[in-house]
Homo-oligomer: A and B are copies of this chain.
Amino acid sequence: MSKRSKSSAIHENEGVSPSDITNTASIQNIKNKRKSQPDSKTLVSDILKGNITALSRAITLIESANPKHQEKANEIINKCLVHANQSVRIGITGVPGVGKSTFIEALGLHLTNMDRKVAVLAVDPSSSLSKGSILGDKTRMEDLVKNDSAFIRPSPSGTSLGGVARKTRETIILCEAAGFDTIIIETVGVGQSETAVHSMVDFFLLLKIAGAGDELQGIKRGIIEMADTIAINKADGDNLKAAKLAKLEFNRALHLYPEKDSKWQPKVVLCSALERHGISDIWEVISSYIEHTKKTDYFESHRREQNKFWLLQTIEERLKSDFFNKPIIKSELNKQLSLIEKGQTTPFMAADYLLQLP
Q: Which residues of A contact B (CB under 8 A)?
A: 1-4, 74, 77-78, 81-82, 84-85, 166, 169-170, 173, 215-222, 224-225, 249-250, 252-253, 255-259, 304, 307-311, 314-316, 318-320, 323, 336-337, 340-341, 343-356
Contacts and interface: CB of A to CB of B under 8 A. Distances in A.
Contacts of A1: 345, 349, 352-353
Contacts of A78: 344-345, 349
A347 B305 CA distance: 11
Contacts of A84: 343
5 contacts: A222-B225, A252-B252, A308-B337, A315-B355, A319-B355
A339 B2 CA distance: 15
A166 B348 CA distance: 7
Which 3 pairs from chain A and chain B are nearest by CB? A310-B347, A314-B351, A311-B347
Q: Number of copies of this chain in the oligomer?
A: 2
B256 A348 contact: no
A308 B249 CA distance: 38
A250 to B, nearest CB: 7
A319 B250 CA distance: 41
Given A1-B349, A320-B316, A353-B3, A307 B258 contact: no
A258 B351 contact: no
Contacts of A340: 307-308, 311
Contact of A2 (B173, B259, B310, B353): B353
B350 A311 contact: yes
B256 A250 contact: yes
A345 to B, nearest CB: 7
Given A249-B252, A320-B319, A81 B222 contact: no
A314 B348 contact: yes
Residue of A1, A166, A250, A259 with highest tally of chain B CB at under 10 A: A1
